[in-house]
Amino acid sequence: MATYPGSVLTIDLDAIAANWQSLDARIGDAECGAVVKANGYGLGQDEVSKALVGVGCRTFFVATLDEGIRLRGTIGPEHRIYVFNSLHGRETAVDFDAHKLSPVLNTREDIEFWSGYAQNGGRSNTVIEIDTGMNRLGLSPPEAEKIAEDAGLLAPLSLDFVMSHLACADEAADPMNEKQRQLFDKLISLFPDVPASLANSGGIFLGPGYHHDIARPGAALYGISEATGASEPMQQVVGLKAKILQIRIVDSESGVGYGASRRVPKGARLATVGVGYADGFLRSLGNSGHGYAAGIKVPVAGRISMDLTTFDVSDVPENRLLPGDHIDLICPEYSVDDIARDAGTIGYEILTSLGSRYTRVYEGGAA
């Protein structure tokens, strides 16, 4: 956290909790877990996970062993933690054991190692991932069929569930969704009495056929709606204010910023704030993004610099905006989805790019 606040990132833990409760209600009898990888999508794994525990979440997902170890220290021993990017090997197995973490197994080699480890007294709780069309991680369908037939290989393991990942869940009409669902349902029938998990955030909104036994929402928890195919807006979680360092009145028509890519007329008023692409205000927002100053929409003028961004505030009355005031970069009028659209990316990248130089203020929940 910055010692001398210039730009303030506000994170509403109650909104995260409310988003989880909304998703939990939507999936009925299925369990709603939470993905808190990448430092809680950039918003703080510790604070986010505590808020989710407070409203009843009991199952968490992270990407790496390091993330899992930290999360275990935050939420205590009674909750389930699964690590997506598991590595086989004696050294990591000991750490999984010590911190009561469960690996997601993606290859036959992984399964063979963990089966042998469990047979010799090591941790047996695990998950098997099957690839149903992403061509990323997981067993291929033929490999899954062979594994399912190998009772001796699976016997030492305690399979908490079998999972797969949807490739196009943000587009409800994409036929890939139904193709993956049908293949997944066929493959999980080879693992009788083992729970199943298919739905990510977008999968939850595709309907009951995708919910199975446990859902794994991530982005929707953090207020992302468009890139998750949400049928209703999620509560906005973050706000970002940047302090104005200088306001200048242009004395003749001229360019703004590197490359002079934006021309402004004589008399234009420009406000420069201390936020740039090093803070996750993406360079692609140059001449395309905007903010809000004194409640008025103001466009980004010129390219984004590493530490600075300039806005054209000509439409804001002079007496309503002074150096030291703030421009809202993320706010109710300009959401994470909005800024992602202007940057030509997705809300996931906006959240996970938010830099370490902001003063972070947590509201509600475990704040």
Percentage of the chain exceeding pLDDT 70: 98
Mean pLDDT over each residue of the chain, to the nearest integer? 95
Q: Is 285 exposed, middle or buried (0-12, 13-18, 19+ CB in 10 A)?
A: buried
Q: Is residue 145 part of a domain?
A: yes
- Rounded CA gap, 229 and 202, in Å? 5
292 is catalytic: no
CATH number of the domain that 104 lies in?
A: 3.20.20.10
Q: Is residue 353 part of a domain?
A: no
Residues 245 and 325 in one domain: yes
Residues 167 and 263 in one domain: no
Query: How many structural domains is the chain composed of?
Result: 2
Q: 123: closest CA among 100, 105, 106?
A: 100
Compute the average pLDDT of residues 165-190.
96
Residues 191 and 245 in one domain: no
Q: How confident is the model at residue 201 (pLDDT cuts 50, 70, 90)?
A: very high
Residues 117 and 247 in one domain: no
Point out the catalytic residue in the list 37, 41, 210, 362.
37
| Residue 231, pLDDT score | 80
Domain hosting 24: range is: 13-224
For the stretch 21-53, pLDDT in tens is 999 999 999 999 999 999 999 999 999 999 999
pLDDT at 249 over 80: yes
For the stretch 309-321, pLDDT in tens is 999 999 999 999 9
- In order, the DSSP letters of 225-244 are -GGGT-SSPPPP-EEEEEEE
Domain end point (choices 201, 224, 247): 224
Q: Is residue 5 part of a domain?
A: no
Compute the average pLDDT of residues 94-104.
94
362 is catalytic: no
Amino acid at 269: R
Residues 216 and 315 in one domain: no
| Residue 228, pLDDT score | 84
> Which residues make Cβ contacts (< 8 Å) with residue 357, sequence separation at least 6?
2, 6, 7, 278, 279
| Residue 88, pLDDT score | 67
CATH number of the domain that 326 lies in?
A: 2.40.37.10
pLDDT at 66 over 90: yes
CA distances for 298 relative to 271, 301, 325, angstroms? 10, 9, 14
Point out the catalytic residue in the list 186, 258, 266, 297.
258
| Residue 4, pLDDT score | 63
Q: How confident is the model at residue 366 (pLDDT cuts 50, 70, 90)?
A: low
